[in-house]
Structure 1
């Protein structure tokens, strides 16, 4: 018996169980054993087909959240807009969603079309149509090892293009974050955004103002800490989306070329660190993005009669508060940002006990890296940066010899850090 056209048998695709995590397979098998339909879906299937190694494996099923919860004691139901189940295997979390239905009167939408609440369940075919991009609407069935393709996602993968399911403008209005996802997936996977999917983004960028700032922090992490941050930054800038995420940054890029160079150097460095499997703190790039706005704000306060030291430190709180209106910055990261900035004032003060307190500061390494990146776009900082490079690796005797003899115990006045203007 011939299978339906949307079902691709095992010998015609490259998805294999060996590429799927054991925990995801356990969830699929148990749901199937209990009589439910269950599929691996989305990025896990997409990435395997592209020859990549996915880290996350999402599952969708016709079981309700409550039914899923009853099958897995190690699970919890989360979410308001749409209920999901997280099944926990130690630190590994498998996310399971119930098939979603078409929009109807049970779905709550804002005036602009943004979906507010969406606990409406349907069939797998309806679920596919509710997904954002065709390449994310691919379903792997562990029962017969087939891939179900309801929206021609495989064709788009072969074309290396990202295409929205349904009318792009309507879908962006339902969830404006889809505009960010289009940019992120296109850069991450080397895909071209299909023209009809790309066209509405610039004119709908203002819809980002509806998205909660807390949600956008997670999107920021996904966009800039996935190894393609520099390309993502350029795309966001071109499409008018950067202005809605980092407005103070975007406003200063055109008039401060050195600031733009500083940002791109930081993004390139971050991408290299991620490619080398080194850790990256989300706070670092935010500190970079807001550096020139911080200096500009401090300068404004100076022109009103405030001394630089007070102006600089007062401006820190102001910039973090302003930025949090667009992308919420958790306190644990805002404290890191403050330390990185504050140490930029202290790093040029290479004398006495201050040197040792700076060197032993828990944020010294991040602040030093920050200074090194600043020095790439501002040659006047090269001497200070090179001094700290030598000093931190020298032995105790060499360090003592490097300290300026005539300034020990002096210099209470803090020097103003140079900007990128």
Structure 2
């Protein structure tokens, strides 16, 4: 049986600090009414109840949380008895979800950091695969990941309770792991990605001891479930802080583990053009999120894996492969290789490939091909992607201008283009002094 790593590390110091209501900015008016109903009913039922984690952290820095989580000493079964609109979920972490229409308030029982054998905990190879050992609020605070996430808002007196120094860390905009960083990352390697994401989201600095092991332990991330890494990628890049998340992955040596082929392509691209395209696309993504505009995961991964696609395409064409075949092979190869790390669903990978493959068709100006491309279901996404490529060079600016106008009135644009071409031909012929007739090939009789 694998050793329980949680019991081998010394317990972090726990010292309760109570920040009274008049010394913090968390207000009930900024808390979901559904979360308040859960807190009050748990209290009235004789249980401890706290708003906890990211919601408290975000409210302290002036943010607007989307999710409100509750921690309590009530077991999931006891929570279910109090709320008819409750369902129990989870194997690794048994949780209660209290449902109010489209809003779900997640209620978790205080969990302990060590197991005396009476709880339900399972560790495999240093990884927690099941963790349902219940304890006190102090135990619960110690087992959380970052100090900034171990803050508890009490519905009893509206104070904020801090057990591990998280309040000061939030004030100093510092992200610090609770406990030994290396041990905590080994327990769950995805915490390294979470550190980068939270630092980007909050504008926090990752504390030196928390940051130091990341580059060394980065390869552990490849052992995480590909489906989980897909979800983590969406959180990293679709939460409005994509640029800072990308820069954080680069800075801490995580990009090469999460997106290995793109990282290699960016490193080998001396001009920096591929990296500029990615950053331009991520800035655009952040703007869309800020404006509440949709961003498709297919477009996001077309952007993130574009450097890998370009590098693979170049390699195949340099081997003498025909351009069209090389494009298809490159798209398939990059997709398959990335699936080893991130489980990209086909409903996103196929449109992603379409975006890549349509890029070569924007140079075609023949009437039939123009109308066919305009009617392609991925045209708009592919055209937007073409615009991002201007961050690399002006090579495609004429194509961008043509297709932008073609979307308004394709027939008019094509007629003007044909007229301009004809006029250019006439000017060239007049310069020769004589007009040459175009010779027609005689058709052979059938």
- Tell me if TM exceeds 0.5: yes
Deviation at 1:266, TM superposition (A): 0.9
Q: Which residue of 2 aligns with 1:186?
A: 199
- Summarize deviations over 1:280-324 as a string: whole Å, max 9, x none: 112212101212322333344445554221221133222212112
**Contact 1:295-1:312 at 8 Å conserved across structures:** no
TM-score (norm 2): 0.85
The 1:75–1:404 alpha-carbon spacing in structure 2 relative to 1, beyond 3 Å, is farther
The structural deviation recorded for 1:396 is 5.5
Residue 100 of structure 1 deviates from its aligned partner by: 0.8
Q: Secondary structure at the match of 2:396?
A: helix
| Pair 1:401 & 2:415 matched | yes
Question: 1: CA distance between counterparts of 2:105 and 2:375?
Answer: 41
d(CA) in 2 for partners of 1:166, 1:214: 28
Per mean C-alpha deviation after superposition, the further-off stretch among 395-404 and 309-318 is: 395-404
Change (3 A) 1:25 1:317: same
Q: CA deviation at 1:109?
A: 2.2
For residues 344-389 of structure 1, give each alpha carbon's deviation from its aligned partner in whole angstroms, at most 9, with x where no partner exists.
1322222223222322333222111100111221321111111112
Q: What are the within-5 Å matches in structure 2 for residues 18-417 of structure 1? A: 18-104=29-115, 106-111=120-125, 113-256=126-269, 257-303=272-318, 306-393=321-408, 395=409, 397-402=411-416, 404=418
Conserved? CA contact 2:25–2:59, under 8 Å:
yes
Contact 2:371–2:410, Cα closer than 8 Å, also in 1: no
Q: Distance in 2 between matches of 1:383 and 1:218?
A: 38
Contact 1:135 1:157 in 2 (8 A): yes
Whichever of the two has the greater Rg, that structure is 2
Q: Take 1:203 and 1:5, find their aligned partners in 2: how far apart are those partners?
A: 34
TM-score, structure 1 as length reference: 0.90
Query: How has the CA–CA distance of structure 1 residues 350 and 88 changed in structure 2, closer, same or farther, with 3 Å as cutoff?
Result: farther
Aligned residues: 402
What is the root-mean-square deviation of aligned Cα atoms in Å?
Answer: 2.0
- 1:265 CA drift (Å): 1.1
Counterpart of 1:108 in 2: which secondary structure?
Answer: strand
**Runs of 4 or more off by more than 3 Å in structure 1?**
298-306, 402-407
